[in-house]
Structure 1
């Protein structure tokens, strides 16, 4: 036994421990409360939670008993497993979407042609509605002339005629609302197909190409300042805020839950929101941490329609609406 002690150069303790969990031919290596490595025939009750090794008489490691997890470590492990589960689910959904995209489109040109067909169909519907508006306008003018003639001859305009004119005007307004709705549908299709085209291009060529930018778009910093939220859920970004003073705050879903990224921002001539992040904040196991880091991100603004921004963000075009 003295040879074993000299071999490891550590303390060998024979007593003051709880009963061993194996035969007398086995030894245990652990760390005591003073941080010293100890070999003994027993493992103290207070040392067992820190983990230990089971050794043969020759010093060979027979078994490693891992340390018990603290409450914080256990919570972190559970959170990690839950996040991995969520990431796997997201990856599965994305794989299904990718397979459907490749089934529908063999090239990025196919995406363009599909969008053109859909837009043409909507334009046809708009033309039909515009024809209906013109016909109703002619009817209104006819009724209006009839009413004017009656007034000039001193006759009272019948209530029925007045109501007909009101009904025609109401019908025209409904048709106009339909046209506006179709216009919004076209905008949404363009944004959706911009994302589809970029994804198909990435799946086929491995590139993340941005080619749907409105070349006529001219933005000033006041156009992107304020707090913005994605119109549709599913993106990692929850909200971002570009302050007039140059500060930038991004709230996103991170590895440990909700994270806050802080930095400074500017808008360059290419309509890119350039952000230099300097700090990341997150809460884990009830404790808030602030981590300093340096990272530059560029978020190209693809277009601006109806007060919304279409921004290339995390490999896809996301539509943001101003909060409030």
Structure 2
């Protein structure tokens, strides 16, 4: 029997093993129970949750596995995320508040104006309700007088009047709820505005006299603003965003109280970007806080931002 066959099988097996190099194994870097950093080819299963680093054959970081969070940590992280989202929303609301208004008094003035508009609507609804109730009584008397001979259309008219009366009541209730919400929102906004501007110490601002702010002032930055505060008490102003054709002109009277310029606007003229012009009578009041004034510069707080106007 030939002995060459086993030798050939052995040689073939050896050549197959040596033809393929051993696959390089990753290493794991972690801390053991004693807190000592360990690098090993085996990652203990009881330490996986504390996190570890996978190294390639050259010792470079191939992957970082973070520690697993406990239930308490997950709850805390979720709470922090919600707090961040809440703060982001508050920051956006604060930014909008400071852009829209120049002072807390202005916010309350807007509130009172809107409440007045709602009062007028309530009064109109009240008048319509009185008229409707009178018509209901007339229609009821007509039906009672006709008795069994009352035509169907009288009852239909009565039903329509009753439905109309209920609609007026519903609308009046909605307007009253709107008033309540309006008061809550604007009162809270005024308080928030004061808090946002608490770093501006208005008490430390020297008293400003009327003759210091009289005259013509202007600014040419992101917007073009021209003011003419006439010594007689009248004023006119011009406003235009630079790069836009739209403009706004205001006319009225002005006064100075507690370092605030109070503009009482009774007329507005607007021109849109297409050249269309409108002119209307209004009744608006705007309070603008003075921060500082010199012979050539007037620093004010307008739309929540400090603005410097130069005497022209």
- On whether the aligned pair clears a TM of 0.5, the verdict is no
Bigger share in helix: 2
Give the structure-2-normalised TM-score: 0.41
Give the structure-1-normalised TM-score: 0.40
Higher relative contact order (CA 8 A, sep 6+): 2
The higher radius of gyration belongs to 2
